[in-house]
Amino acid sequence: MLKISKLTKRYGSGDPVLKELDLTVEGDQLTSVIGSSGAGKSTLLRCINRLVEPTSGSVDLNGTEFTTLNRRELRTARRRIGMVFQSFNLIDRLTVMENVQSGRLGYISTWAALTRRYPREDIRHAYELMERVGIAHYADRRADELSGGERQRVGVVRALMQRPEILLADEPTASLDPKTSEQIMSLLRDLASELKLPVIINIHNVTEAKEYSDRIVGMRYGRIIFDDLPGKLEKAEMDEIYAGVPAMDRAEVGAVA
């Protein structure tokens, strides 16, 4: 379980962009965080693994308080949090298998990694995950030979290779075409349920968020102002979350009832 309590983030001397925010996320659910640009969605996600340092508050993952870990402890603890990125963050000149195995860096020796002598169990696990997401036949392809959707699947498998306790995805579909984007959302939702893994996604596309999430969290000015089932997100709630933002900028393709 991830339990965030009274989380506040202030960049420099400006106003806080997260304001004493509370959020608890448990296993096997996909939670989408929505909100207009600048609401604090990315900051929230990045405070969880301390890519951004929280100003105050608590981030507790299954009993480990992340905000007080020292550098060395944090390096180890971060392995428990998988991260998927909008721009995939793959190493283009490496193969799919090599990219996937980079999720195990820190677990295996540098020598084993450099000489590509991956432990047998890691290879088995990689194939199992690659089969699951449909990229096993690309194991020996260079990452830059793949389509965007395939690259994001590599990114997902790399994150899962860490055997994470939670998966964070920062706009994982923003670089993808609509059909591929839906496939990735559907995959993330299914993986959350199959692996009993909480998944938190920062997403702009409200239609997709509603379709594929178990729970929607709506942010405005650093606070959570909506936290409920997707079906409960109707026009009045949308208007509150996106007050002053035109429908097109909400990435609200089509109607929200």
Ligand X SMILES: Nc1ncnc2c1ncn2[C@@H]1O[C@H](COP(=O)(O)OP(=O)(O)OP(=O)(O)O)[C@@H](O)[C@H]1O
Binding ligand X by CB under 6 A: which of 2, 23, 31, 43?
43
Min CB(43)–ligand X separation in Å: 3
Give the number of residues in contact with ligand X, rule: CB under 6 A.
10
Q: For residues 1 and 20, what is the distance between their CA atoms, to the nearest angstrom?
A: 19
Q: How far is the CB of 131 from ligand X (least distance, A)?
A: 33
Detail the DSSP E strand segments found in the chain. 2-10, 16-25, 30-34, 56-61, 64-65, 81-85, 166-170, 199-202, 215-220, 223-228
CA distance 164 to 183: 22
User: Does residue 209 touch ligand X according to CB under 6 A?
Assistant: no
Q: Which residues, in sequence order, are CB contacts of 242 under 8 Å at separation 6+? A: 35, 36, 250, 252
Q: Is 25 in the site for ligand X (CB under 6 A)?
A: no
Our finding on whether 183 is near ligand X (CB under 6 A) is no
- The distance of closest approach from Cβ of residue 12 to ligand X in the complex, given in angstroms and rounded to an integer, is 6
Contact 201/31 with Cβ under 8 angstroms?
A: yes
Residue 29 is encoded by which pair of tokens?
């659910």
Residues 57-76, mask of contacts with ligand X (x by CB under 6 A): --------------------
CB of 181 to ligand X, least distance (A): 16
Helix or strand run (H / E) with residue 183: helix 178-194
Question: In terms of CB distance, is 248 or 257 closer to ligand X?
Answer: 248
User: Binding of ligand X at residue 241 (CB under 6 A)?
Assistant: no
Strands (E), 41-165: 56-61, 64-65, 81-85
Minimum distance of ligand X from residue 2's CB (angstroms): 18
175 membership: H or E segment, kind and range: none
Instruction: For residue 134, state whether it binds ligand X (rule: CB under 6 A).
Output: no
For the bound state, the minimum distance from the C-beta of residue 1 to ligand X, rounded and expressed in Å, comes to 23
Out of 6, 11, 73, 229, the residue judged to bind ligand X by CB under 6 A = 11
According to CB under 6 A, which one of 23, 30, 35, 208 is a site residue for ligand X? 35
Q: Is 40 in the site for ligand X (CB under 6 A)?
A: yes
CA-nearest of 59, 85, 91, 88 to 165 is 59
The answer to whether residue 206 forms part of the interface with ligand X (CB under 6 A) is no
38: contact with ligand X by CB under 6 A: yes
Q: By CB under 6 A, which span of 37-45, 53-61, 143-151, 241-249 interacts with ligand X? A: 37-45
Residue with tokens 């860490």: 162
Backbone φ and ψ of 30, nearest 5°: -100, 120
Binding of residue 47 to ligand X (CB under 6 A):
no
Site for ligand X, residues 149 to 178, rule: CB under 6 A: none
The CA-atom distances, in angstroms, between 110 and each of 107, 113, 115, 117, 144 are: 9, 5, 9, 10, 24
Which stretches of the chain bind ligand X, using CB under 6 A?
Answer: 11, 17, 35, 37-43
